[in-house]
Amino acid sequence: MAKKKQVGYLSAKEARRISKENRKITNEFEKKRKRKNVPESEYLTTMHDPKNAVEFDDLHTYFYTDAGTVKAVDGVSFNVPIGKTVGVVGESGCGKSVTSLSLMQLLQRPQGQVASGEIRLNLGDKAYDVTKAPNSAMQKIRGNVVSMIFQEPMTALNPVFRIGEQIEEVLELHNVDHMTEHQMKERTIELLEMVGIANSEGVYKMFPHELSGGMRQRVVIAMALACNPRVIIADEPTTALDVTIQAQILDLLRNLKDKINSSIMFITHDLGVIAEMADFVVVMYAGRIIERGTAQEIFHHPAHPYTIGLMASKPVVGKDVEKLYSIPGKVPNPINMPNYCYFKDRCEMCVKGCEGAYPKEIKLSETHSVSCYRYYGQKED
């Protein structure tokens, strides 16, 4: 049989070469991270704007897999201002979770690595570039300065420990105020009440399986809030819940945010949720930000054909349509990204110039910008 080179498949020889190269690259990264006694000066940085809690600056996060390098996040820059909620939207696989895991430094290692870029985290009196911070520094940051609410509460809770114990464990781990056992219990009860659990003394003694899904998510939120974090990452916190509970949890998060003045990075593919929650929105597509703006701008004046498509594929109550719009085609292969606009092959609004290099960001207003050729020459910055 004649040997035919199949497109998209790797020969054993090529695969071996790739995995050998990957090992070399990831070993280098891991060696750096595992160093002991790294002086703080190596990862100290200054915020470009002290009003920001987090600044992602040209972040590139790659997965060095045997099939090739997956550029999961490919040059993402955006800010999370103090006390504000930034919504991150985009379809499945566009790099939303990987962006947030880069901030927590919880990528699947060794293959997942921040290849370049900075993530500046505001600690009040100083700022760290978390991409350069060693494990020891990250351990103090996670849960304490930045905390995360995951999609599925059952995975965040340990089934064999009582609710109270699990929240107290978080408090104990970062016991900055040197609380006594009694104070910790009081604080735990207070947290349970804060997230709207009426029978807080009772729930304190319960196991996770004795609670409903909505209650469990409230407990997870209480755990995330335990140490008054500066930044809360909520990665699809309500997708596992039914709509009425979802609305309650969103209400809760909104009220809590005002109370504790934290910043929230809210990840979802549900545009309705973003409209309710976010002050600013970044729209991601295939590892890059294609549009950003205030929630108002993105909802009332979406500019990128992808955002316009997202809006059109959203059901609207009271609007009678035969069939919901769906964006044709699929996301390009993350290992072999094209050298032109990543959305071009799916775009129904192409203009002259679209076959050129990846479009740069065009400013439409002080806060609104878009990477698309349709706006070239119209509003050049």
Ligand X SMILES: Nc1ncnc2c1ncn2[C@@H]1O[C@H](COP(=O)(O)OP(=O)(O)OP(=O)(O)O)[C@@H](O)[C@H]1O
Rule CB under 5 A: say whether 151 interacts with Mg ion: no
Report the distance separating Cα 9 and Cα 335, nearest Å: 12
In angstroms, how far apart are the furthest CA atoms of the chain?
77
Q: Is 97 in the site for ligand X (CB under 6 A)?
A: yes
**Residues 237, 330: Cα–Cα separation, whole Å:** 25
Q: Does 122 bind Mg ion (CB under 5 A)?
A: no
Is residue 147 within 8 A of residue 227, CB to CB? The reply is yes
26 near Mg ion, judged by CB under 5 A:
no
- Look-up of token digits 């590139």: 60
Interacting residues with ligand X between 213 and 272 (CB under 6 A): 269
Q: What radius of gyration, in Å, describes the C-alpha atoms of the chain? A: 22
Other C-beta atoms closer than 10 Å to the C-beta of 173 total 14
Residue appearing with tokens 């930045």: 146
Say which entry of Mg ion, ligand X, none residue 141 contacts (CB below 5 to 8 A, set by partner kind). none
Candidate residues 55, 86, 89, 96; the one interacting with ligand X per rule CB under 6 A: 96
| C-beta of 222 vs 327, nearer to ligand X | 327
Cα 145 to Cα 230: distance, rounded to the nearest angstrom: 5
- Considering the complex, what minimum distance in angstroms separates the CB of residue 342 from ligand X? 12
Q: Site for ligand X (CB under 6 A): which residue of 143, 229, 334, 359?
A: 334
85-93, 275-283, 292-300, 348-356 -> range binding ligand X (CB under 6 A): 85-93
C-alpha to C-alpha distance for 278 and 234, rounded to whole angstroms: 12
Contact pattern from residue 41 through residue 80 relative to Mg ion, giving x for each residue in contact according to CB under 5 A and a dash for the rest = ----------------------------------------
Q: Does 143 bind ligand X (CB under 6 A)?
A: no
Sole binder of ligand X in the list 70, 121, 234, 240 (CB under 6 A) = 70
For residue 188, the minimal CB distance to ligand X (Å) is 31
Scanning residues 266 to 285, which ones bind ligand X (CB under 6 A)?
A: 269
Angle of helix 181-194 versus helix 163-173 axis, rounded to 10: 110
Best CA proximity match to 203, nearest among 232, 175, 167: 167
Residue 248 in contact with residue 213, Cβ under 8 Å?
no
Does 155 engage in binding with ligand X (CB under 6 A)? Answer: no
Number of residues counted as binding ligand X (CB under 6 A): 17
Tell me the closest approach of the beta carbon of residue 134 to Mg ion, in angstroms.
26
Tell me the number of residues near Mg ion by CB under 5 A.
Answer: 1
Give the shortest CB-71-to-ligand X separation in angstroms.
Answer: 8
Our finding on whether 22 is near ligand X (CB under 6 A) is no
Min CB(167)–ligand X separation in Å: 26
- Looking at 39-47, 107-115, 321-329, 363-371, which segment touches ligand X (CB under 6 A)? 107-115
First to last CA, the chain: 58
User: Is residue 65 near ligand X by the rule CB under 6 A?
Assistant: yes
Indicate whether 378 belongs to the interface with ligand X (CB under 6 A).
Answer: no
> Of 76, 82, 89, 98, which one interacts with ligand X (CB under 6 A)?
98
* Cα–Cα distance measured from residue 288 to residue 61, given in angstroms and rounded to the nearest whole number: 11
Task: Name the DSSP letter for residue 344.
Answer: G
**Residue type for position 277:** M
Nearer to ligand X, 302 or 334 (CB): 334
Pick 96 or 374: Cβ nearer ligand X: 96
Chain centroid offset of residue 241 CA = 19
Does position 94 interact with ligand X (CB under 6 A)? The reply is yes
The string over 212-247, giving b where at least 16 C-beta atoms fall within 10 Å of a residue's C-beta and e elsewhere, is eebbbbbbbbbbbbbbebbbbbbbbbbebbeeebbe
The region, left, alpha or beta by phi > 0 then psi within -120 to 50, assigned to residue 179 is beta
Return the number of the residue (26 or 122) whose C-beta is nearest ligand X: 26
Task: Report, in Å, the least distance between residue 286 CB and Mg ion.
Answer: 14
Which residues are CB-contacts of 234 (< 8 A; sequence separation ≥ 6)?
148, 149, 253, 264, 265, 266, 267
Q: Does 199 bind ligand X (CB under 6 A)?
A: no
Answer whether 342's CB lies under 8 Å from 350's CB: no
Residues 73-112 that bind Mg ion (CB under 5 A): 97
Q: What's CA 137's distance to the chain center, in Å?
A: 21
Residues that bind ligand X (CB under 6 A): 63, 65, 70, 72, 90, 92-98, 108, 111-112, 269, 334
